[in-house]
Homo-oligomer: A and B are copies of this chain.
Amino acid sequence: MATASQPAISRFPVPALSDLPADIRERIVAVQEKSGFIPNVFLALAHRPDEFRAFFAYHDALMDKPGNLSKAEREMIVVATSNANQCQYCVIAHGAILRIRAKNPLIADQVAVNYRKADITPRQKAMLDFAMRVAFEAYAVGDEAFATLAQHGFSEEDAWDIAAIAAFFGLSNRMANVMGMRPNDEFYTLGR
């Protein structure tokens, strides 16, 4: 996948597309056709087909489901918590997706560095406060945290969505850091 002069996209072996099980290859090809390139997370995780399938099933269950959180809001959660976890791949790749979803070229960098000062609504700041508590002190999340969300119009099901996105990308952040997963060059400028 990578030419000799390019840095590795993972410290683990990256399979050739042709060696992958058909379902995984098909998903990757579909993404490539839609995006114009293959995001490295697909190739890096394909080293472990069963984990790949579970990972993307989980991803889709959270990010593609209907619900009260807009697609841009879901990406805000990813970007804010991923920077707090210092995950290069997730901030850069999902920053691009956030810019596109929000149709706002500035928002991703703002949310990544300090969402409290970003051009987002008080409701969105409350959403990110909750997400950050899930990421860093989930043990203390209780009635009070749900009540604060409710004051901003979030239902209990919305709270689950926020928590699950923060928790799932916490998994993703940890794996990407351990793997040294490299963001594709394309992400840096998408949506700017």
| B-contact bits for A152-179, CB 8 A (1 contact / 0 none) | 0000110110011011101101110111
A69 CB-CB contact with B under 8 Å: no
Count of chain A residues with a beta carbon within 8 Å of a chain B beta carbon: 66
Selected contact of A174 from candidates B83, B113, B138, B175, CB within 8 Å: B138
Q: List the B side residues contacting A58 at CB < 8 Å.
A: 51, 54-55, 58
Copies of this polypeptide in the complex: 6
From 20 to 78 in chain A, residues with beta carbon under 8 angstroms from any chain B beta carbon are 48, 50-51, 53-55, 57-58, 60-62, 65
In the complex with contacts A48-B160, A113-B112, A178-B138, A171-B168 CB distance below 8 A = yes
In the complex with contacts A57-B50, A160-B48, A163-B175, A114-B139 CB distance below 8 A = yes
- Shortest CB–CB separation between residue A101 and chain B, in angstroms? 17
Selected contact of A177 from candidates B85, B117, B174, CB within 8 Å: B117
Cβ–Cβ contact A178 & B134, under 8 A: yes
A140 CB-CB contact with B under 8 Å: yes
In the bound assembly, the distance between CA atoms of A159 and B10 in angstroms comes to 14
